[in-house]
Structure 1
Amino acid sequence: MNTPKVADHIINWLKTYAENAKVKGFVVGVSGGIDSAVTSTLCASTGLPTLCVEMPIHQAQSQVNRAQEHIAQLKERFSNVSDTRVDLTSTFEDFKTSAPEAEPSAQLDLALANTRARLRMTTLYYFAGLHGLLVAGTGNKVEDFGVGFFTKYGDGGVDLSPIADLLKSEVYALGKHLDVPESIQKAQPTDGLFGDSRTDEDQIGASYDELEWAMHMQDKGKTADDFEGREKEVYQIYLRFNTNNKHKMVPIPICEIPSELK
């Protein structure tokens, strides 16, 4: 990948899109991870107003520290960057108290994790509407089109996706080129939605490097029977997520009414 040219291409694409949409700039949720760090830096590089929003919900202090380090660095580098912090912990707890009580289960844990993501989406659109900004998505190609590792109408609810055609390894390459803080470049990827230390790899069962390999194998038309050992295991993991999360990656189905019925 020609990293400098890819960065320039995305920056120009963002600027042109915003100008054509007649909006002022961008709002980005900053989590302390590589994807949001790269996205917010690309948005800031357009020269257009870029609002970085920190939205902790029972967040690990290490994630908070990385997010704040990145935002502070961006504000030093770009005069068009501003930030705000909305602690959604009490809002999340109020929701749990207001919702009907449910028995502890993996399904409940996942539902609450997705609720966190959707509270953040609502917050970002509040600021977008308030200031005339576009919500910039932070999903990469593996998450958005490989395993569907995002929350529908949560972090998947955005106006535009600047890094969604980049594999995770390519996002890291951009992060290095864009001088993203080293602490973020070295941190284990995590969605931070469960209030514990689990990483993306813990949840998925495979690393992003392995998932990128599996995506390439799928593009070549390979099946699980073509592999053995760890490769077979990884490919089966990838195919399971790809199949189960297909509803996130394709347009919402519409029931089309036959003309003779209208």
Structure 2
Amino acid sequence: MQTEKVVNHIVDWLKNYATNAKVNGFVIGISGGIDSAVTSTLCAKTGLDLLCIEMPIHQAASHVTRAQEHIAQLKERFSNVKDARVVLTPVFEEFKTEVSLDGKQETVDMALANTRARLRMTTLYYHAGLLGLLVAGTGNKVEDFGVGFYTKYGDGGVDLSPIADLLKSEVYELGEFLNVPDSIMKAAPSDGLFGDARSDEDQIGASYPELEWAMQMKDEGKTAEDFSGRQRDAFKIFMRYNRSNTHKMIPIPICEIPKNLK
């Protein structure tokens, strides 16, 4: 990959999109992970306003530390960067008192995890509306179009997606080029939606290199029967997520009314 040219292409794309939309810049949630670090740095390089928001909800200490380190570095490097911290833990806890928590624990935990992401989306759009900004998404190609590993109308609720055509390995290439802090470059990817340090691999059951490989194999028309051992297992994991999360990757279905019924 021609890393520098890719960076310049994305920065120009972001700047042109914001200019045409007649907005002041971007707002982005900073998680302490590689995707938000790379995306926020790309947004900062446009020279337009960038608001980085930390939104902890019972967050693991390591995530908070990395997020704060990255924001501090960005503010040192770019004069157009501002930050805010919105502690959403009380909002989340109050929400839990008003809804039913009955059901299988695993199902309840997942619903609450997705609620965290949607509270953060609401916070980002509040600030976007207040300051005339666009919400920049942080999803990469594997997450957005491979396994659908994001929350619908949570971290998937954005105005534009600067890195959604980049594989996770390519995001790391950009991260190195953009001088993202080592603590983030070396950290295991995690969505941080469960209040602990569990990684994406812990949740999915396969690593991003395995998922990238499986995504490529699917595009080449391969099936699980073409592989054995760990490769077969990884391919099956990818396909299970790909099938079950298809609803996230396609436009919202519209019930079209036949003209003879109108």
Same-fold call, TM > 0.5? yes
- Please state how far the C-alpha of 1:197 moved relative to its aligned partner: 2.0
- Aligned-pair CA distance for 1:195: 1.0
Q: Which residue of 1 aligns with 2:51?
A: 51
Aligned to 1:167: 167
Aligned position for 1:99: 99
Distance of 1:156 and 1:31 partners within structure 2: 14
- Measured on the aligned residues, the alpha-carbon RMSD in Å equals 0.6
Give the length in aligned residue pairs.
262
The one-character-per-residue Cα deviations of 1:120-167 (angstroms, maximum 9, x if unpaired) are 000000000000000000000000000000000000000000000000
Q: Which stretch of structure 1 is more off in the superposition, 103-112 or 249-258?
A: 103-112
**What are the superposed Cα offsets for residues 198-238 of structure 1, whole Å, 9 maximum, x if unpaired?**
11000000000000000110110000000000000000000
Could you say which residue in structure 1 is the equivalent of 2:67? 67
- Which residue of structure 2 aligns with residue 243 of structure 1? 243
Residue in 1 that maps onto 2:120: 120
Query: In the alignment, what sits opposite 1:186?
Result: 186
Structure 2 partner of 1:140: 140
Distance of 1:174 and 1:103 partners within structure 2: 43
3-state SS of the aligned residue for 2:134?
A: strand
Distance 1:197 1:126 in 2: 28
Structure 1 runs (4+) deviating above 2 angstroms are: none
Partner of 1:203: 203
SS of 1:51's equivalent in the other structure is: strand
Counterpart of 2:246, as a letter, is: K
Alignment deviations for residues 226-257 of structure 1 (CA, whole Å, 9 cap, x no partner): 00000000000000000000000000100000
> Secondary structure of the residue that 1:113 maps to in structure 2?
helix
Q: Any idea what SS the aligned residue of 1:202 has?
A: helix
* 1:11 corresponding residue in structure 2: 11
Q: Cα deviations across residues 66-94 of structure 1 (Å, max 9, x unaligned)? A: 00000000000000000000000000000
Q: TM-score, normalised by structure 1?
A: 0.99
- SS of equivalent to 1:70: helix
SS in 1 for 2:26: strand
Partner of 1:217: 217
Compute the TM-score of the two structures, normalised by the length of structure 2: 0.99
Once the two structures are TM-superposed, the CA of residue 100 in structure 1 deviates from its matched residue by: 2.2
Work out the CA distance in 2 between the residues paired with 1:40 and 1:197: 22
Deviations 1:39-91 (A, max 9, x none): 00000000000000000000011100000000000000000000000000000
Overall identity of the aligned pairs, in %: 73
Query: Following TM superposition, by how much is the alpha carbon of 1:105 offset from its aligned partner in structure 2, in angstroms?
Result: 1.3
Instruction: Tell me the distance in 1 between the aligned counterparts of 2:184 and 2:31.
Output: 10
